[in-house]
Amino acid sequence: MKKILITGAAGFLGSHLCDRFINEGYYVIGMDNLITGDLKNIEHLFKLKNFEFYNHDVSKFVHVSGSLDYILHFASPASPIDYLKIPIQTLKVGAMGTHNLLGLAKAKNARILIASTSEIYGDPLVHPQTEEYYGNVNTIGPRGVYDEAKRFMESITMAYNRFHGLETRIVRIFNTYGPRMRLNDGRVIPAFIGQALRGEDLTIFGDGSQTRSFCYVDDQVEGIYRLLLSDYDLPVNIGNPYEITIKDFAEEIVKLTGTDQKIIYKPLPKDDPMQRQPNISKAKELLGWEPKIMREEGMRKTYKYFKSLPEEELYKKEHKDFKEYNRS
Ligand code: UDP
């Protein structure tokens, strides 16, 4: 049985990846320190013989006994609101966490795939974004802690690949959504759905003319799965190229939820990218991958998930001691 370590296992993407690799017959070790992850996302796996969970912060030395075939490094805060709350931890998990996991991969002779992001393109000046574009990033802005950690992550991964001959894969993930996103993580999809369910106005930041391209989680997981098993070691964009303005998207949410929510406008956060759309030619050509689930279907499934949550979840406030995490 192949053995895989998945970091960020209790998070949105990590938990779906655990499910996928369990279904493919792997032995899965999930690792998470639960700053932003939630054990609820993986509690259904705890009874399985081929799953185990380590509560561990990967920015500290990572020990796994026995052999390992693959590592997926998905531990990281991933929403702009989280970077503001835990900026130092965001840098550490991308930098030191990645270094530790590359060291582990080298020691175990395992193949490692690291989760990079469309954020490495910053507020892009080239549209749509191809893997060859170097980006337009503000090192010291609020998103810098994430963007620079992920850029460093790509560099150190390529250094291990070239210097140590390690088998590495780099996925650049564009906006992805689906069940198990955190309702209060500040990202636009849970934000709008939460507002609709609470009967509040939908808050558009800026004038809503900025665009995003939303990929349903099952498509994203399929792309990552294929990339891991491919023999291509340079970065690959995985995302849905179907682009929409945030204003049109808010109107879709009003229709989807059947509510008559008003739309209100708030200031645009600093360095909020104006346009984002992946060029996925590489993924198509190398992996035979393209997204299959269109926004209407994906959003229906996502809305159903959020509606099924206990009502108190809708009003829950975060109460973790983020100061402690930043200090450690
Ligand atoms: N956004 C918004 N209202 C909200 C939350 C987000 O208009 O309540 C906007 C945000 O400014 C950005 C877009 O939606 O332009 C996507 O934001 P998200 O945080 O989901 O992801 P990212 O900016 O990292 O792509």
pLDDT (0 to 100) of residue 207: 98
Site to substitute for ligand 1 among 119, 173, 200, 205, most atoms within 8 A of C-beta: 205
Which of ligand 1's atoms lies nearest the C-alpha of 175? 25
The domains of the chain are located at 3-178+215-240+278-293
Residues 244 and 301: their CA atoms lie apart, in Å, by 19
Q: In this structure, are strands 168-173 and 236-238 parallel, antiparallel, or unpaired?
A: parallel
Annotated catalytic residue 146: yes
| Nearest CA, atom 13, ligand 1 | 188
What is the band of 323 on the pLDDT scale with cuts at 50, 70, 90? confident
Sheet strand arrangement including 70-73: 51-55, 27-32, 3-7, 70-73, 111-117, 168-173, 236-238
Least confident of 90-94, 129-133, 322-326: 322-326
The token pair at 132 is 């060859």
How far is ligand 1, taken at its centre, from the CA of residue 103, in Å? 35
**pLDDT average, residue stretch 27-36:** 97
Write out the E strands in the chain: 3-7, 27-32, 51-55, 70-73, 111-117, 168-173, 176-177, 202-205, 211-213, 215-216, 236-238, 243-245, 263-266
What is the band of 215 on the pLDDT scale with cuts at 50, 70, 90? very high
User: What are the pocket residues of ligand 1 if the criterion is a CB atom closer than 6 Å to any ligand atom?
Assistant: 79-80, 175, 187-188, 191, 203-205, 210, 212, 246, 269, 272
Question: Based on the number of CB atoms within 10 Å of its own CB, is 254 exposed (0-12), middle (13-18) or buried (19 or more)?
Answer: middle
How far is ligand 1, taken at its centre, from the CA of residue 187, in Å? 5
| Nearest CA, atom 23, ligand 1 | 272
pLDDT digits (tens, 9 = 90+) for 44-85: 999 999 999 999 999 999 999 999 999 999 999 999 999 889
**pLDDT average, residue stretch 264-289:** 96
**pLDDT average, residue stretch 221-238:** 98
Query: In percent, how much of the chain has pLDDT > 70?
Result: 99
How far is ligand 1, taken at its centre, from the CA of residue 64, in Å? 37
pLDDT (0 to 100) of residue 326: 72
pLDDT digits (tens, 9 = 90+) for 141-195: 999 999 999 999 999 999 999 999 999 999 999 999 999 999 989 999 999 999 9
The mean predicted confidence, pLDDT, of the chain is 96
pLDDT (0 to 100) of residue 319: 62
Residues 6 and 136: their CA atoms lie apart, in Å, by 30
Site to substitute for ligand 1 among 84, 173, 174, 187, most atoms within 8 A of C-beta: 187
**Catalytic pick among 70, 121, 146, 160:** 146
**pLDDT average, residue stretch 269-297:** 97
Residues 249 and 245: their CA atoms lie apart, in Å, by 6
Residues 174 and 170: their CA atoms lie apart, in Å, by 13
What is the band of 263 on the pLDDT scale with cuts at 50, 70, 90? very high
What is the sign of the dihedral through the CA atoms of 88, 81, 242 and 129?
negative
pLDDT (0 to 100) of residue 317: 78
| Nearest CA, atom 18, ligand 1 | 187
Which of ligand 1's atoms lies nearest the C-alpha of 81? 19
Query: Taking the domain 3-178+215-240+278-293, which CATH number applies?
Result: 3.40.50.720
